[in-house]
Amino acid sequence: MTDNINAAMRKRRRIHIAKIALLTLWAGVFAVLFLMPTVLTISNSFMSSTEITANYGSIFAVGQAGGRQFISERVNLKFIPDMVTFKQYITVLLKSPDYLFKFWNAVILTLPIMLLQVAVAAVASYGFARYSGKFRTFLFFSYIMMMLMPSQVTLVPNWLVSKWLGIIDTRWAVVLPGIFSPFSVFILTKSMKRVPKNIIEAARLDGANEWQIFTRVCIPSCKGALYSVLILVFIDYWNMVEQVLVLLTNPDKQPLSIFLSRINAGEISLAFAVATIYMVPPLLLFLHGEEQLVEGITYSGGLKS
Amino acid sequence: MKLSRNKTADAKERRENIRLSGEERRARRRSAYFLAPSVLGVMTFFIVPFCVIIFYAFVDNPINKEFVFFDNFVNVWNNGAFRRAATNTLSFSALAVPLAVVLSLVLALILEAKIPMKSRFRTFFLSPMMVPVASIVLIWQVVFHYNGALNAWLGPLGVNQIDWLKSEYSHLVIVLLFLWKNLGYNMILFMAAIANIPKEPVEAASIDGAGRTRIFFSIKLRYISPSILFVTILSLINSFKVFREVYLLTGDYPYETLYLLQHFMNNTFQSLDYQKLSAAALIMFAAMTVIIGLLFFAESRFGKDVEN
Amino acid sequence: MAGIVLENVSKTYPGGGKAVIDFNLEIADKEFVVLVGPSGCGKSTTLRMIAGLEECTSGRIYIGGECMNGVEPKDRDIAMVFQSYALYRHMTVYDNMAFGLKIKKVPKKEIDRRVREIAEILGLTDKLKKKPSAMSGGECQRVALGRALVRQPRVFLFDEPLSNLDAKLRTQMRSEIIRLHENVQTTFVYVTHDQTEAMTMGDRIVVMDHGVIQQAASPREIYDRPANMFTAGFIGTPQINFFKANEIGASGSSDVIVGIRPEDLHLAPCDGAVIGSGNVEFIELLGASMNVHLSMNGHNVIMTCPVDNSIARGNTYEIWAEKGKSRLFDASTGLAIASKTEAEA
């Protein structure tokens, strides 16, 4: 009798373990697919320029003059370099200022947008969360609409204003609309609304005015959401393309995100190193704040707050 | 116990109901200061120019300002490039959205099945979101080029060389990049929904004798259905933003099937055709409004049953 | 000196719902007043109007003789303890207690002295560096009390402060708050839905229902001479028994209701009268005493008595009511019939 029960239990356990193993295997397969592009980019950045040209020359050689290296007919996708070298990085960091310059362009466009958008949004989200009326509900609804509109729609008004203000083709044309993009307002309002009403009332009774309630009670309570919004805004603008194409056509001021896709054949060996350098800041932010990021994404699920 | 009150007192009270109390007025005024910077900025960069766009869309040109009804819209609508861009964008969405929803749900279900190293896997699946597309387009080019790795792998299997980015398969390449980038975000939304399924109904059903499959389809799926709708429409909206990936992969002049609405707009910006720009933006705005309206409708319709 | 006066205070919500209707009450300085009633009776709204968290729709509120209408909560010199504790989750216990003083720009040394003094009284000294998330509900509520105390306000307001605590802790905190009131000598206004809390804590109890004061009197008075059927039924456990006068053979017509408390009923002859005979349906043993549930002519009757093993389920007994302990009410208005209170049932 007990033997039977034990046997049944063992059987169920075996099935369970088999199921978990199978699911883990699947997760592993997906994980490899998800990680491959990133890992390949990084590992290829440690290859010598001869190796890169040998591997990928057939793709990027088009229009290349001179060079008499051996170029394979088909590409050869390699994970592990024949010989690890930091030569590409040294070239990028010390010998070709153009890349660093574009990297810097990305920084001075992204940082002000990130910091100011979140600052403006934090203040506004307190305004939305603290009091709701018909007008405010309507306003919040229009923010959601704007947030969801693709750039094809929002860039037209941005472009028009930039023309009027005479800031087209300057950094302001990208930065100013970026600061007022409604995305962070949306997530922060949801987070602010979760601050219990009683705590705000307690602060009022403690003598705090609205600004003190905001800075000393609400902001610390929304730390996680704030951090996650910072990360999300950063990656969005670090990656920007269409704003730049329309509002900032001067190539000297364009960020690395655009420039990377235009890298020419002669510099293909450097491209992987540059690409790797460019992904370092967002990846660091991600590894540091993954938990908060996940919390922020969860807040964005569902439009009603 | 019951207080008798005369009619005038009732009327007075009703008037006071309509008027806001002083406290509410103060709260409203104070919180308006907090809204001011954001609202001013949004007005300046989005709403006011948008109103001007509406105006431009209905006149013949910005100087003459003659009202031409829907001529501009008709022109855009009949424009071959616009048509192609719209068709391409929609057919991309039709391929990308279902895959994005199903695959991210599968990923979320795998992770929520208590597999070992769950949080490690979550990090892996989420990481593409944080990698700038510009950084990995090189790999995509290496894989999908005419002389690229994919053809090199498929060659020995007897498959002819295909120029993936310049053929009818081009959408497939972009879809892969889109999925790679977006699955993680959707997966997090699904994971939150799965984690929020209340335990009681599931336990009640299993006591009532429902099997695992039955429980999944009759109870769990019902509880995550609002999220499925939300992710579907979110993916649809995101699929309209795929220009970024296409541009970085193929530049200003992509293969015909990859000519998207943003390409159309970029060309129109360059030609400074205010009427065409405005009318096109308004047409897209109208289409998006319908989709967003659907999202709100779906949320209030299907969300309320399972909310506590 | 900070008595509170509420004069014709009403609160109507924008939707038209009436939370409080024509509320008149004078609370003396240093008095401990308990507002009690079922949920939604307007007691919390009244408290929040005193705090200034909600504006009254009409009427006036005075604290210490000054009219408080339109005065900001922070300028009313009051402190409030919430049911949910409402502690600042990101601050330590010390910072929670010091927050109000910091806002008022009290010198650092003075803040430190006051916080430590109050922490000592509440037994929180070794917890000052902890955050609320690391503490139990009872400790959190003590911090909330401490936060109110350090500010030395004129009036303390309590909004169901013990409702989130378990039964044992509730009893303990109850006596602590009573002791606190004796020590600080300040006006306390305390809102609860728990009639035991109301009976044990207040100098005076204000029973509310549907936004209207049903009775405001001392606990003894409320228990012995309830002004109406609602108060009689709300205060006292188990609940008072109501009978139509003619049903129990008492003098008076059918529109007189007789209320008899469970402890005034007996199953053995006593100085009083038989009101009928009842069949024991079930018995709740409470230890020293027990509640006997009887059925009398299809009527449920509850009585309490010391534990008596001879009383058994299924038996039928004559039910005796003690002389002079029944309360009479008018069936149509529900109000107590004062002149006949002493009449024999």
Fold of C4-231: Rossmann fold (3.40.50)
Please list every residue in chain C whose beta carbon sits closer than 8 Å to the beta carbon of residue A204: 53, 72-74
For residue C298, count other CB atoms closer than 10 A to its CB: 5
**Residue C203 corresponds to which amino acid?**
D
Name the residue among B1, B3, B16 with its Cβ closest to that of C57: B16
Sheet holding C256-260, edge to edge: C241-244, C256-260, C327-330
Whether residue C86 lies within 8 A of chain A, CB to CB, comes out as yes
Residue B6 pLDDT greater than 60, yes or no: no
Instruction: Map chain C to HEC letters.
Output: CCCEEEEEEEEECCCCCEEEEEEEEEECCCCEEEEECCCCCCHHHHHHHHHCCCCCCEEEEEECCEECCCCCHHHCCEEEECCCCCCCCCCCHHHHHHHHHHHCCCCHHHHHHHHHHHHHHHCCHHHCCCCHHHCCHHHHHHHHHHHHHHCCCCEEEEECCCCCCCHHHHHHHHHHHHHHHHHHCCEEEEEECCHHHHHHHCCEEEEEECCEEEEEECHHHHHHCCCEHHHHHHCCCCCCEEEEHHHHCCCCCCCEEEEECHHHEECCCCCEEEEEEEEEEEEEECCCEEEEEEEECCEEEEEEEECCCCCCCCCEEEEEEECCCCEEEECCCCEECHHHCCCCC
Whether residue C334 lies within 8 A of chain B, CB to CB, comes out as yes
Domains of chain C, residue spans = 4-231, 237-248+257-340
State pTM to two decimals. 0.85
Q: Tell me what percent of the residues of chain A surpass a pLDDT of 70.
A: 91
Instruction: Determine the distance in angstroms separating the CA of C192 from the nearest CA of chain A, rounded to an integer.
Output: 17
Q: What is the dihedral of CA A79, A80, A81, A87, to 10 degrees?
A: 80
Contact between A205 and C88 using a beta-carbon 8 Å cutoff: no
- For residue B7, name the pLDDT band (cuts at 50, 70, 90): very low
Q: What is the secondary structure of A101-145 as a DSSP string? A: HHHHHHHHHHHHHHHHHHHHHHHHHHHHHH---HHHHHHHHHHHH
Whether residue C161 lies within 8 A of chain B, CB to CB, comes out as no
Whether residue C214 lies within 8 A of chain B, CB to CB, comes out as yes
Residue B18 pLDDT greater than 80, yes or no: no
pLDDT digits (tens, 9 = 90+) for B235-248: 988 898 888 888 88
Those residues whose C-beta lies under 8 Å from the C-beta of residue B72, and which sit 6 or more positions away, are: B57, B58, B275, B276, B278, B279
Q: What's the whole-number mean pLDDT along residues A232-251?
A: 90
Q: Tell me what percent of the residues of chain B surpass a pLDDT of 90.
A: 25
Q: What are phi and psi of B110, to 5 degrees?
A: -60, -45
- For residue B23, name the pLDDT band (cuts at 50, 70, 90): low
The token duo for A190 is 């949801």
Q: Chains contacting B with at least 3 CB pairs below 8 Å?
A: A, C
Please list every residue in chain B whose beta carbon sits closer than 8 Å to the beta carbon of residue C76: none
Helix axes A183-193, A97-130, angle to 10 degrees: 40
Q: Chains contacting C with at least 3 CB pairs below 8 Å?
A: A, B
Q: What pLDDT does residue C22 have?
A: 92
Q: What are phi and psi of C161, to 5 degrees?
A: -70, -20
- Contact indicator for A48, A282 with CB cutoff of 8 Å: no
Interface predicted TM-score of the whole assembly (ipTM), two decimals? 0.86
> Chain A, 176-205: which have a CB under 8 Å from a chain C CB?
196, 198-199, 201-205
Task: Write out the residues of chain B at the interface with chain C, using a CB-CB cutoff of 8 A.
Answer: 1, 3, 12-14, 16-18, 20-24
- For residue B150, name the pLDDT band (cuts at 50, 70, 90): confident
- Return the residue in B20, B23, B34 with the most chain A beta carbons within 10 A, the one to mutate for interface testing: B34
- For residue B75, name the pLDDT band (cuts at 50, 70, 90): confident
Fold of B71-306: MetI-like fold (1.10.3720)
Q: What is the secondary structure of chain A as a DSSP string? A: -HHHHHHHHHHHHHHHHHHHHHHHHHHHHHHHHHHHHHHHHHHHTTS-HHHHHHHHHHHH-TT--S------SS----SS-SS---HHHHIIIII-HHHHHHHHHHHHHHHHHHHHHHHHHHHHHHHHHH---HHHHHHHHHHHHHHHS-HHHHHHHHHHHHHHHT-TTSHHHHHHHHHT-THHHHHHHHHHHTS-HHHHHHHHHTT--HHHIIIIIIHHHTHHHHHHHHHHHHHHHHT--HHHHHH---GGG--HHHHHTT--GGGHHHHHHHHHHHHHHHHHHHHHHHHHHHHHHHHHSSS--
- For residue B10, name the pLDDT band (cuts at 50, 70, 90): very low
In chain B, residues under CATH classification 1.10.3720.10 are 71-306
Size of interface A-B (CB pairs under 8 A): 298
Contact between A216 and C73 using a beta-carbon 8 Å cutoff: no
Q: Chains contacting A with at least 3 CB pairs below 8 Å?
A: B, C
Contact between B34 and A24 using a beta-carbon 8 Å cutoff: no
Whether residue A278 lies within 8 A of chain B, CB to CB, comes out as yes
Give the residue ranges of chain C where pLDDT is below 70: 1, 250-254, 338-345
**Alpha carbon distance A226, A289 (integer Å):** 11
pLDDT digits (tens, 9 = 90+) for A161-191: 999 999 988 999 999 999 999 989 988 998 9
Whether residue B213 lies within 8 A of chain A, CB to CB, comes out as no
Whether residue C305 lies within 8 A of chain B, CB to CB, comes out as no
- For the domain spanning C237-248+257-340, the CATH number is 2.40.50.140
More confident residue, B122 or A60: B122
Q: What pLDDT does residue A143 have?
A: 92
- For residue B17, name the pLDDT band (cuts at 50, 70, 90): very low
**Alpha carbon distance A94, B254 (integer Å):** 34
Nearest-Cα residue of chain C relative to residue A205? C74
pLDDT digits (tens, 9 = 90+) for A106-152: 999 999 999 999 999 999 999 999 888 888 889 998 998 898 888 88
Please list every residue in chain B whose beta carbon sits closer than 8 Å to the beta carbon of residue C336: none
Q: What pLDDT does residue A124 have?
A: 95
Give the range among A48-52, B60-64, B265-269 with minimum mean pLDDT.
Answer: B60-64
Residue A65 pLDDT greater than 70, yes or no: no
Q: How far apart are the first and last CA of chain A?
A: 56
Those residues whose C-beta lies under 8 Å from the C-beta of residue B203, and which sit 6 or more positions away, are: none
More confident residue, C9 or B252: C9
For residue C69, count other CB atoms closer than 10 A to its CB: 15
Whether residue A220 lies within 8 A of chain C, CB to CB, comes out as yes
pLDDT digits (tens, 9 = 90+) for A196-215: 999 999 999 998 988 999 99
Contact between C55 and B23 using a beta-carbon 8 Å cutoff: yes
Average confidence score pLDDT of chain A: 85
Q: What's the whole-number mean pLDDT along residues A220-239?
A: 92
Residue B304 pLDDT greater than 90, yes or no: no
Q: What pLDDT does residue B8 have?
A: 46
Instruction: Determine the distance in angstroms separating the CA of A252 from the nearest CA of chain C, rounded to an integer.
Output: 46
Instruction: Map chain B to HEC letters.
Output: CCCCCCHHHHHHHHHHHHCCCHHHHHHHHHHHHHHHHHHHHHHHHHHHHHHHHHHHHCECCCCCCCECCCHHHHHHHHCHHHHHHHHHHHHHHHHHHHHHHHHHHHHHHHHHCCCCCHHHHHHHHHHHHHCCHHHHHHHHHHHHCCCCHHHHHHHHHCCCCCCHHHCCCHHHHHHHHHHHHHHHHHHHHHHHHHHCCCHHHHHHHHHCCCCHHHHHHHHHHHHHHHHHHHHHHHHHHHHCCCHHHHHHHHCCCCCHHHCCHHHHHHHHHHHCCHHHHHHHHHHHHHHHHHHHHHHHHHHHHHHHHHCC
- For residue B127, name the pLDDT band (cuts at 50, 70, 90): very high
Average confidence score pLDDT of chain B: 83
Q: What pLDDT does residue C7 have?
A: 92
Domains of chain A, residue spans = 2-90, 93-300
For residue B56, count other CB atoms closer than 10 A to its CB: 24
Instruction: Determine the distance in angstroms separating the CA of C130 from the nearest CA of chain A, rounded to an integer.
Output: 17
The token duo for C313 is 């389920």
- Contact indicator for B220, B211 with CB cutoff of 8 Å: no
Q: What is the dihedral of CA B172, B174, B177, B183, to 10 degrees?
A: -70
| The CATH number of domain A93-300, selected from 3.40.50.80, 3.40.50.300, 1.10.3720.10, 2.40.30.20 | 1.10.3720.10
Whether residue C74 lies within 8 A of chain A, CB to CB, comes out as yes
Please list every residue in chain A whose beta carbon sits closer than 8 Å to the beta carbon of residue C82: 198, 201-202
